[in-house]
């Protein structure tokens, strides 16, 4: 992909991003694992909207609709920011996307325990899905993997921002030297 289409990440923009990231990290630490206050309330809304929406098209897929619903908005945002070359907004969307994985992992890990309070219907998505897939006994392993990917994805997005900033800075130095 053409590198020049990404907006330049200045030191000020990076500082703003770091500040937002710090607030997000603080919120993540203060929240119970897998449920970030505010953000996961929004995710839950998208989740609950996803079930009936997907249910319009397929009864069988309706169970997956919640998870699809909570992932689809960060994906749409990420694609849109990527196309506009808005690097920091893109990274924030990617972080939101992968934060969702922690929330999904929390739900997956509950597939056998059935301890989480459930909104809407009272069906446990992951108990249903894992039973369907015949992997119910692996719920904790699958959740652990999801959680790992979630963290790895968020770290990757932050590293990418740092790397872009560093590159942009060096590129700026080069252009100053040329003139």
Stretch of 10-18, 64-72, 134-142, 165-173 contacting Zn ion, by CB under 5 A: 64-72
Residue 70: both structure tokens together: 């909570």
Q: Which is nearer to Zn ion, 67 or 93 (CB)?
A: 67
**Least distance to Zn ion, CB of residue 150, Å:** 18
**Least distance to Zn ion, CB of residue 128, Å:** 9
66 in contact with Zn ion (CB under 5 A): yes
Using CA atoms, how far residue 74 sits from 43, 96, 118, 151, in Å, is 10, 6, 23, 16
Q: Which is nearer to Zn ion, 66 or 74 (CB)?
A: 66
Q: Which is nearer to Zn ion, 51 or 147 (CB)?
A: 51
Question: What CA–CA distance (Å, rounded) separates 56 from 165?
Answer: 44
Half-sphere exposure of 166 (CA within 13 A, CB side): 6
Residue 166: both structure tokens together: 């560093």
Using CA atoms, how far residue 87 sits from 93, 153, 158, in Å, is 10, 16, 11
Q: Which is nearer to Zn ion, 92 or 143 (CB)?
A: 143
Q: Which is nearer to Zn ion, 66 or 157 (CB)?
A: 66
**Least distance to Zn ion, CB of residue 135, Å:** 18
150 in contact with Zn ion (CB under 5 A): no
Of residues 97 through 126, those in contact with Zn ion by CB under 5 A are: 125
Dihedral of the alpha carbons of 57, 63, 67, 69, in degrees to the nearest 10? 30
Question: What CA–CA distance (Å, rounded) separates 39 from 92?
Answer: 13
Of residues 24 through 63, those in contact with Zn ion by CB under 5 A are: none
**Least distance to Zn ion, CB of residue 114, Å:** 13
List contacts with Zn ion (CB under 5 A).
66, 125
């Amino acid at each position: 992909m053409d590198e020049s289409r990404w907006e330049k990440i200045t030191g000020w923009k990076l500082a703003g991003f770091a500040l937002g990231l710090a607030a997000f990290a603080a919120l993540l630490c203060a929240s119970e694992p897998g449920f970030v206050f505010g953000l996961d309330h929004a995710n839950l809304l998208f989740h609950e909207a996803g079930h009936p929406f997907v249910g319009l098209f397929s009864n069988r897929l309706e169970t997956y609709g919640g998870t699809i619903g909570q992932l689809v908005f960060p994906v749409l945002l990420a694609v849109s920011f990527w196309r506009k070359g808005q690097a920091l907004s893109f990274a924030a969307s990617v972080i939101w996307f992968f934060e969702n994985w922690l929330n999904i992992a929390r739900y997956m890990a509950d597939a056998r325990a059935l301890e989480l309070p459930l909104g809407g219907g009272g069906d446990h998505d992951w108990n249903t899905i894992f039973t369907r897939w015949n992997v119910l006994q692996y719920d904790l392993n699958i959740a652990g993997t999801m959680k790992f990917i979630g963290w790895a994805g968020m770290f990757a997005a932050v590293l990418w921002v740092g790397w872009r900033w560093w590159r942009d800075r060096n590129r700026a130095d080069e252009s100053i030297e040329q003139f």
